[in-house]
Amino acid sequence: MVEYSWLIPLFPLLSFVLIVFFLNRNNRVSSYFAIAMILTSMVLSFKILVEVLANPHPYEAFITWLSWTGFSLPMGIYIDPLAAVMLIVVTIVSSLVHIYSLGYMHGDPRFARFFAYLSLFSFSMLGLVIAGSYVLILVFWELVGLTSYFLIGFWFEKKIAADAGKKAFVTTKLADLGFLLGLVLMIFVIGTATLPELNKKIESLKITAGMVEENHSSKQLHNAEMTVHEGVSKHHKTHNRTGESHEVGTATHGKAISKEDAKRTLILIGIAGLLMFMGACGKSAQFPFHVWLPDAMEGPTPVSALIHAATMVAAGVYLTARLMGVILISPTMGLVVASIGTITAFMAATIGLVQNDIKRVLAYSTISQLGYMMMVLGLGGYTAGTFHLYTHAFFKALLFLAAGSVIHAVHTNDIQEMGGLHKKMKITSITFLIASLSISGIFPFSGFWSKDEIFAVAFEGGHYVILVIGILVAFMTAFYMFRLYFMTFTGKPRDQHAYDHAHESPYNMTVPLMIFALLSIFAGWWGIPWLHTNYASFVFFGHPHHVEPNMILMLISLVVALSGIGLAYLMYYKRAISPETMAQRFKPIYTLLFNKYYFDEIYMAIIINPTYRLMEILFKFDQIVIDGMVNGVGKLTLLWSWAKERFDTYVVDGAVNGVGHLSLATGRAIRKTQTGQLQTYALVIFLGAVVLIFMKFI
């Protein structure tokens, strides 16, 4: 079965091609066909997951794509447990988003095209997941970027949407430059770009360089090795992979690479990995490149759910996970990935606290959660990072779809104009609540298990700063999610007109919500650390990394999350009793600071003001340092252009004009020979023939 996995991306591709070329006149047929295709992919993915569960040994199939002397570029698929899990995540989210779109996009003039784009997107993402070489990943990576451009700018009549699409494309493209450079460097250094070979190569180099246990970043590896001893008996089968790599290692060792050479190569690999991580930062909206994701909320909400919650941004995390081998050998890279993840998680969470656009809050929360994943991946927590990716996909997709359902009902994104919608939209409200509980990490929802895993990794590695920031972010996450929930669904309606027109969404929208709600609760149970065979014993890098469940840590994170929810309850649920205060809320938050409730003042003093100040500082920083740099670069460019202009006028133009005149004169002369007379040409041809015969005589 697993050898047919290359079929999975082809179904959505088929749907895209057929819709674009044949079916686009018929909305109903187009959408149903797209749904049927993605469901087929989902069924296939499930079968593959079952098979991979039974035999976790990675399946790989490569063919030579290009080859020239001494080098060949293989292309193929690589299905390991992570890929199998990702296939499931992508196909489930994609299928449900397809179905949801039936309702959400109903009546859109480009309904069929929307489904074509969704199919193309699913194709790209599934291709990326099964791709077995970094080159192929890059190909699908760019396809994903392109499709996201189509989908974000789907309502391109709106200038904001078109601009957002451009912004997303350009920002990720800039980051992709890093990916490309890293890829070239990696191919140059290692001579291969396939996933299995890269890891084998790294293993062998590590042995050659004799640095298996030296650097601080491989502390996790050390931990992994310690915990492995108990795992060995359980997971005998999975160990032949490492066995193989050792063999390869000694084989390469036979070629007598010196220790220094191996170390140098490892450093180069680390640089390549960092460059490629830059690409991942772009796609996953990490710290310097995060700006595009909130803007991308201008796209249709199913797109936000599909692209900006569950799949496209997951591509960056996925790539980083795929670079785990590099992270483990390069302490610098691990440090960079972990710090960027931590910064992003913290920054996005603080911004999320004060946003009023429902989708933007979700966008910042996505960025923050992705920061979590990057953070833990940087610490070597392959299992924890990918597990959070897996659970996050479901509850974040649910949050977006529920938000979409709300927007569909009240036709606004602003939570200050919502309120009390629980009575009108029970299903949406309850599913949103479930997702919020899950993302906040409340026991026993799935977010709890994955978030706890992350904290456990940070704790085990002794990275206490990161752990504390992580817990702080968890608190903020719980707070802003419930701020959102209380503002939207509870209290009195703030916009009576919108409230009166609000209604529960049709079944094709609520059913996906309910399915996602179930997944948001139960999907994480796979990772319960007390289980005998759980996620950690299935998806791991190198050796199964069994993190000891830490009851105290769990308790702390639970308490933190509950206090976040409690704070939100006090501030937004209680206060919502008085409508005048709600009216005041519409004023800028500064006026709110001085004449409002005690809760508001706490809120202001403790959270908003420092946040604002932080943001102001960040803004100033932006204005002075970043803008200064940008302007400086601009001025330099101007100067340089001026110099170039001079050069152009006198040297280049002179040369060009000279060449032009020369060509003109030559042309005038040669033109005479082009008489247009066939017989003249025949004469010349024959003359040539005679000359050839004549030459035979000499």
Partner 1 sequence: MSMLIFYILAIVAVVSALMVVTLRNVFHSALFLVLTLFSVAGIYVLLEAEFLAAVQVLIYVGAITILMIFAIMLTYQITSKSIRQVNEQVIPAVIIVLVFFVLSLVTLIKTSWPVSNKSLPGNNTFEIGRQLLSTYVIPFEVVSIVLLIALIGAIIISRQDGPSRPGQEDR
Partner 2 sequence: MMSELTLLHFLILAAVLFALGIFGLLTRRNAIGILMSIELMFNGAAINFVAFARYVAPQEIAGQVFTIFIITIAAAEAAVGLAIVILIYRNFKGIEVDKINFMKW
Site for partner 2, rule CB under 8 A: 671, 674-679, 682-683, 686
DSSP 8-class letter at 535: G
Determine, following the binding rule CB under 8 A, whether residue 695 of this chain makes contact with partner 1.
no
Looking at 170, 184, 251, 683, which residue binds partner 1 (CB under 8 A)?
683
453, 387 in Cβ contact below 8 A? yes
Residue with tokens 């996995």: 5
Name every residue whose Cβ is closer than 8 Å to that of residue 584 and which is 6 or more positions away in sequence. 591, 592, 595, 596
DSSP 231-300: HHHHTTGGGHHHHHHHHHHHHHHHT---HHHHHHHHHHHHHHHHHHHHHHHHHTT-GGGTTHHHHGGGS-
Backbone angles phi, psi at 194, to 5 degrees: -90, 150
Determine, following the binding rule CB under 8 A, whether residue 680 of this chain makes contact with partner 1.
yes
Residue 54 touches which member of partner 1, partner 2, none, C-beta under 5-8 Å by kind: none
Please say which residue, 530 or 697, places its beta carbon nearer to partner 1: 697
Determine, following the binding rule CB under 8 A, whether residue 697 of this chain makes contact with partner 1.
yes
User: Considering the complex, what minimum distance in angstroms separates the CB of residue 685 from partner 1?
Assistant: 11
Determine, following the binding rule CB under 8 A, whether residue 686 of this chain makes contact with partner 1.
yes
Size of the site for partner 1 (CB under 8 A): 11
DSSP 8-class letter at 108: -
Determine, following the binding rule CB under 8 A, whether residue 687 of this chain makes contact with partner 1.
yes
User: Considering the complex, what minimum distance in angstroms separates the CB of residue 674 from partner 1?
Assistant: 15
User: Considering the complex, what minimum distance in angstroms separates the CB of residue 658 from partner 2?
Assistant: 23
Determine, following the binding rule CB under 8 A, whether residue 685 of this chain makes contact with partner 1.
no
568, 409 in Cβ contact below 8 A? no
Determine, following the binding rule CB under 8 A, whether residue 698 of this chain makes contact with partner 1.
no
Residue 693 touches which member of partner 2, partner 1, none, C-beta under 5-8 Å by kind: partner 1
Name every residue whose Cβ is closer than 8 Å to that of residue 52 and which is 6 or more positions away in sequence. 2, 59, 79, 80, 81, 84
Please say which residue, 462 or 688, places its beta carbon nearer to partner 2: 688
Residue 674 touches which member of partner 1, partner 2, none, C-beta under 5-8 Å by kind: partner 2
Residue 697 touches which member of partner 1, partner 2, none, C-beta under 5-8 Å by kind: partner 1
Looking at 157, 676, 679, 698, which residue binds partner 1 (CB under 8 A)?
679
Other CB atoms within 10 A of residue 211 CB: 16
Of the candidates 513, 451, 437, 441, the residue with the CA atom closest to the CA atom of residue 482: 437
Other CB atoms within 10 A of residue 341 CB: 30
User: Considering the complex, what minimum distance in angstroms separates the CB of residue 686 from partner 2?
Assistant: 6
Which residues from 649-678 bind partner 1, rule CB under 8 A?
A: 677
User: Considering the complex, what minimum distance in angstroms separates the CB of residue 678 from partner 2?
Assistant: 6
Residue 662 touches which member of partner 2, partner 1, none, C-beta under 5-8 Å by kind: none
Helix axes 464-489, 426-440, angle to 10 degrees: 170
Candidates 119-127, 617-625, 646-654, 686-694; binding stretch for partner 1 (CB under 8 A): 686-694
Residue 69 touches which member of partner 1, partner 2, none, C-beta under 5-8 Å by kind: none
9, 127 in Cβ contact below 8 A? yes
Burial of 662 (0-12, 13-18, 19+ CB in 10 A): exposed
Q: Which amino acid is at 103?
A: G
Where along the sequence are the contacts to partner 1 (CB under 8 A)?
A: 677, 679-680, 683, 686-687, 689-690, 693-694, 697
